[in-house]
Amino acid sequence: MSDKMSFRDSRFYPVFFMIILSAILTFILATSYQLSKERVKMFREVSMQTSLLSLFIPELPELNGKTLAALEAEEISKLYKTYIVRKSLNAEYNYYKFSREGQELGYIFPVSVKGLWSTIHLLVAIKSDFSEYIGIKVINQGETPGLGARITEAWFQEQFSGKAILQADGFVTLKLIDENEQPASGMIRQITGATVSSRAVVSGVREKLKILYEQYFSKKSKGDK
Amino acid sequence: MEINAFVIFFAAIFTSNILLTNFLGMCSFLSVSREVESSFGLGVAVFFVIVCTTAINYAVYHLILVPLDIIYLQYIVFIIVIAAFVQLTELFVERFSPVLYYTLGIFLPLITVNCAIFGVSLFMVIRNYSFLQSIAYGAGAGLGWLLAILSLAGLRQKLKLQRVPAGLRGAGITLIITGIMSLAFIGFSGIAVIQ
Amino acid sequence: MNKKQIFIQSAFTENAIWAQILGICSALAVTNQMKNSLVMGLGVIFTLALSMFTISAIRSLIPPRVRMMAQTFIIAFYVILVDLFLKAVLPEVSQQLGPYVGLIITNCIIMGRAEAFAIKNTPLDSMIDGIGAGVGYTLVLLLISLIREIFGFGAIFGYQVMGTWWTPWSIMVMAPSAFFLLAMLIWLVEIRKRKKR
């Protein structure tokens, strides 16, 4: 007993205590991290596939009115393999092609735009002739929670479907209006208190599509190859 | 696609002030803001510590945590870095500049628990900032915090002579003033649109 | 003091937010939506309950000189567990909350309860005290976010409750409203306290 007391009073006891404490805590954390790692990784994969599929929900007869969230991970992967093919444009850039029964229904492009604080990563689905948007999906962002981060909300993203991209007189610029106003055609309701993030999505996506079109998809650039 | 460091710097001071829009560093903000001088001291100390710890944490994160695949320990590591840095600074300042120690040193222990400092390190990681961007963000956040606490202290000194409803005295009225300041700072966001 | 009294005292009479203005830093920012507030609140309850239990259980072993350091370690440990859990089970919420989960570590309530209660009471009492403090904190967050979400979005927990006639108040979505609402809450509590005297 007296031995123990003297060790407790020694100068090394605090150091010893901290080492033991951090060893135990770190060990538990490392174990739980290892346990959750696979799950997180698998989830990321499935969630990417779900995001890609979610842009083409009306084209998926298997759903039968169910939502993608109701499906198991294996079913998602199966759907993904049936409909979506990954293509590469150049060494760094990949895009996705959605086709059903041999018919090409649209492209999905990963697009990154500058938000107020962070780079916003989106998936943009469009008709293969660049005529209109099929939909957009924000997959990663670091904007302010409750403000800019609301670009992930469904109503904001759904506004894009059916909006025109390329028309006879060039690339269409979508007009931003207040969140509470009634939108007419060619208008996007922006998020209250997050003008910069909303604008970033609208104009960033347009710019990226324009570049992609001019470099790779227009008749002229196709003719060059 | 990199956001210009200058944009981040000014946005962190004005449009997205770390205290007035992210509510970080409220505890010391409310308790120290009674006097202008002490607020200035604390503000400068916070600014200094934010800039330095952001730089250190950036290095630690990208040179140690990422290569070893122990990102999940970032919270503990960041807190230790901040605590250790504050302790070291305290020792140095005490040793080499007693004058500075008496003006700034007393605030240093308060800083370890200041969420603004820890918050800046976390935002830096989540937003995937480069080194330059991180420093710009840290400096902007620190200056913004200094600006906010100085203005509040100035207002509170005036308030001493005013008649405030009994139930609002102290924390209540301070929060209302902070709210009004926060409203005023939102006014700056008209400027941010021109990016 | 029995267990029930401990709970009521730490949740209501000594509520950290309205009686001591502690710990608002880490969570006020997410109070414009109830779902986020609830998740943050649950995270705080979990962290408080278990870290108070742990700190109290090993309180006689902690050397006084590194007491604060050891407490921070234990708190950070539980916050990391919460973070890992959210990432694995509720990844979308974890993405939305961003850095605010990590900021629970610097929440002054937790350190405050550790210093004021856990360091001198039994593990079980400390745990109840922790849960009480966490519940009180969560209730305040939920109250503020209820008002902000109804006025700001016309919704409760994301479900639209106001009709299309309702014009949302943008101010309620933005930061200043949280300051004003908290001030009102403190005012009301103060008035009640004064009447009782």
ipTM score for this prediction? 0.85
- Predicted pLDDT at A219: 67
Q: Is C77 in contact with B76 (Cβ distance < 8 A)?
A: yes
Interface check C63 vs A, CB under 8 A: yes
Least CB–CB distance from A18: residue in C69, C77, C167: C69
Taking residues A34-42, what's their average pLDDT?
A: 84
Instruction: Residue C79: name the closest of A144, B77, A143, B82 by CA.
Output: B77
Instruction: Answer with the residue of higher pLDDT: C54 or A191.
Output: C54
**Beta-ladder partners of A167:** A170
What 3-state DSSP class applies to A87?
strand
Least CB–CB distance from C62: residue in A17, A33, A43: A17
Taking residues A89-95, what's their average pLDDT?
A: 82
- Predicted pLDDT at B193: 41
- Predicted pLDDT at C142: 92
Q: Is C23 in contact with B118 (Cβ distance < 8 A)?
A: no
Q: Which of A25, A43, A177 to substitute to test the interface with C, most C CBs within 10 Å?
A: A25
CA angle, corner A64, sides to A63 and A68, nearest 5? 30
- Predicted pLDDT at B140: 94
Exposure string for A161-199, b = 16+ CB within 10 A, e = fewer: eebebbeeeeeeebebeebeeeeeeeebbbbbbbbbbbb
Task: Give the residue from chain A lying closest to C64, CA to CA.
Answer: A14
- Contact (Cβ atoms closer than 8 angstroms) between residue C70 and residue C35: no
Question: In angstroms, rounded to a whole number, what is the distance separating the alpha carbons of residues B114 and B112?
Answer: 6
Task: Give the residue from chain B lying closest to C20, CA to CA.
Answer: B171
B-chain CB neighbours of A195 within 8 Å are 189, 192-193
Least CB–CB distance from A142: residue in B15, B73, B127: B127
Question: In angstroms, rounded to a whole number, what is the distance separating the alpha carbons of residues A45 and B155?
Answer: 53
The CA-atom distances, in angstroms, between A43 and each of A153, A204, B66, C89, C97 are 20, 28, 21, 9, 18
Q: Is B113 in contact with C191 (Cβ distance < 8 A)?
A: no
Question: In angstroms, rounded to a whole number, what is the distance separating the alpha carbons of residues C186 and A201?
Answer: 40
Q: Is A17 in contact with C173 (Cβ distance < 8 A)?
A: no
Question: In angstroms, rounded to a whole number, what is the distance separating the alpha carbons of residues A67 and B194?
Answer: 40
Question: In angstroms, rounded to a whole number, what is the distance separating the alpha carbons of residues B20 and A46?
Answer: 38
Q: Is C63 in contact with A47 (Cβ distance < 8 A)?
A: no
B144: its two tokens: 């913004």
How near does any CA of chain C get to the CA of B24, in Å? 5
- Predicted pLDDT at A224: 47
Interface check B162 vs A, CB under 8 A: no
Confidence of residue A5 (pLDDT cuts 50, 70, 90): low
- Predicted pLDDT at B36: 84
What 3-state DSSP class applies to A86?
strand
Question: In angstroms, rounded to a whole number, what is the distance separating the alpha carbons of residues A74 and A72?
Answer: 5
How near does any CA of chain A get to the CA of B26, in Å? 18
Flag whether pLDDT at A193 surpasses 80.
no
Q: Is A33 in contact with C84 (Cβ distance < 8 A)?
A: yes
Question: In angstroms, rounded to a whole number, what is the distance separating the alpha carbons of residues C76 and C63?
Answer: 19
Chain-wide mean pLDDT for chain A?
82
- Predicted pLDDT at C20: 64
Compute how many other C-beta atoms are within 10 angstroms of the C-beta atom of residue A7: 11
Flag whether pLDDT at A68 surpasses 60.
yes
Neighbouring subunits of C (3+ Cβ pairs under 8 A): A, B
Q: Hey, which residues 104-133 in chain C have their CB within 8 Å of chain A?
A: none
Taking residues A98-122, what's their average pLDDT?
A: 85
Flag whether pLDDT at A8 surpasses 80.
no
A113-132 per-position pLDDT tens digit = 888 777 888 999 998 888 88
Q: Within chain C, which residues score under 70 in pLDDT?
A: 1, 16-22, 25-26
Give the count of alpha carbons within 13 A of C63, CB side only.
20
| Contacts of residue A8, Cβ cutoff 8 Å, sequence gap at least 6 | C63
Least CB–CB distance from A47: residue in C30, C80, C91: C91
**Chain A residue set in contact with B, beta carbons under 8 Å:** 26, 29-30, 33, 112-119, 142, 144, 193, 195-196, 199
- Predicted pLDDT at B194: 35
Question: In angstroms, rounded to a whole number, what is the distance separating the alpha carbons of residues A68 and A45?
Answer: 14
Question: In angstroms, rounded to a whole number, what is the distance separating the alpha carbons of residues C143 and C141?
Answer: 5
Q: Hey, which residues 108-137 in chain B have their CB within 8 Å of chain A?
A: 123, 126-128
Q: Within chain B, which residues score under 70 in pLDDT?
A: 1-2, 103-106, 189-195
Q: Is B11 in contact with A144 (Cβ distance < 8 A)?
A: no
Provide φ and ψ at A190, rounded to 5°.
-90, 170
Taking residues A150-178, what's their average pLDDT?
A: 85
Least CB–CB distance from A144: residue in B21, B192, B195: B21
Alpha helices in chain A (DSSP H): 2-9, 12-54, 73-83, 154-158, 195-212, 219-224
Q: Is A144 in contact with B72 (Cβ distance < 8 A)?
A: no
Interface check C29 vs A, CB under 8 A: yes
Confidence of residue A220 (pLDDT cuts 50, 70, 90): low
- Contact (Cβ atoms closer than 8 angstroms) between residue A119 and residue B126: no
How near does any CA of chain C get to the CA of B188, in Å? 14
Q: Is B192 in contact with A113 (Cβ distance < 8 A)?
A: no
Flag whether pLDDT at A157 surpasses 80.
yes
C94-147 per-position pLDDT tens digit = 877 878 888 888 887 888 888 888 888 899 999 999 999 899 889 989 999 999
Q: Is C84 in contact with A32 (Cβ distance < 8 A)?
A: yes
